[in-house]
Amino acid sequence: MDALDRLDAEISRCRLCPRLVAWREEVAATKRAAFRDQTYWGRPVPGFGPHDARIAILGLAPAAHGGNRTGRIFTGDRSGDVLFAALHRAGLANQPTSTDRDDGLTLTDTRIFAAVRCAPPDNKPTPQERDTCAPFLHREMGLIRPHLRVVVALGGFAWAAFWPALKAVYGVAPARKVPFGHGVLWQTEGAPALLGCYHVSQQNTFTGRLTPGMLDEILARAKALAGAN
């Protein structure tokens, strides 16, 4: 077991945020009717993907009946359906769907993780919960630092979470605040590029704010920035 595996195991045991612990375990016990025969993960969700990934996709937090159920980030929910289909079209995933941890999915050159590792009520972590979880993100980015070339931030929350990680891991900070926007690119020498993307939430994909074509363009840019084939 290497350092990243040990970190993943540590993340899955975390109980530092009482509100999140109570919520994730309540959801795992009550379940959604469609999944009533399944055993929910009900714990923090570690990152997923190769340890030498050149592309990182940073999300907000696991979904209550997605990652909190399956134990793998973005797996088993509508947002994940959109994301994994796009990763497959981009040649970064071996299959277009992800339904459970044992479904055979593998990622190429890509690691996915979240700013907050537990499913929060209403998908809204508190500032204290965000800050409590931040060291996990900082440590994970530090461990994949030798290969990491670009981070795709899904939404404004992930975009905001990147900057403290950048400072902690790389000792770098922008001269002024960089506002989030879809397609916004920030780069500096000696650190991974940051590329903004609207979150793959149902609110965005159902309304057409984020289309499959827009997501394909972001992943193509990420591959180019990372030097991935």
Name the band, by pLDDT with cuts 50, 70 and 90, for residue 228: confident
Which residue has 């902690």 as its token pair? 168
Residue 197: helix, strand or coil by DSSP?
A: strand
Q: What is the tens place of the pLDDT at every residue in 61-77? A: 999 999 999 999 999 99
Instruction: Answer whether 18's CB lies under 8 Å from 125's CB.
Output: no
Q: What is the tens place of the pLDDT at every residue in 133-188? A: 999 999 999 999 999 999 999 999 999 999 999 999 999 999 899 999 999 999 99
> What is the chain's alpha carbon radius of gyration, rounded to the nearest angstrom?
16
Q: What is the pLDDT of residue 222?
A: 98
Angle between helices 156-170 and 127-144 (to 10 degrees): 50
Write down how long the chain is.
229
Quick count: other Cβ atoms within 10 Å of Cβ 180? 18
Q: How far apart are the first and last CA of the chain?
A: 29
> Phi/psi at 48 (nearest 5 deg)?
-145, 135
> Phi/psi at 110 (nearest 5 deg)?
-140, 130
Q: What is the tens place of the pLDDT at every residue in 25-66? A: 999 999 999 999 999 999 999 999 999 999 999 999 999 999
Dist CA 22 CA 20 (whole Å): 5
Q: Which residues contact 160 (CB under 8 A, 6 or more apart)?
A: 180
pLDDT at 229 over 80: no
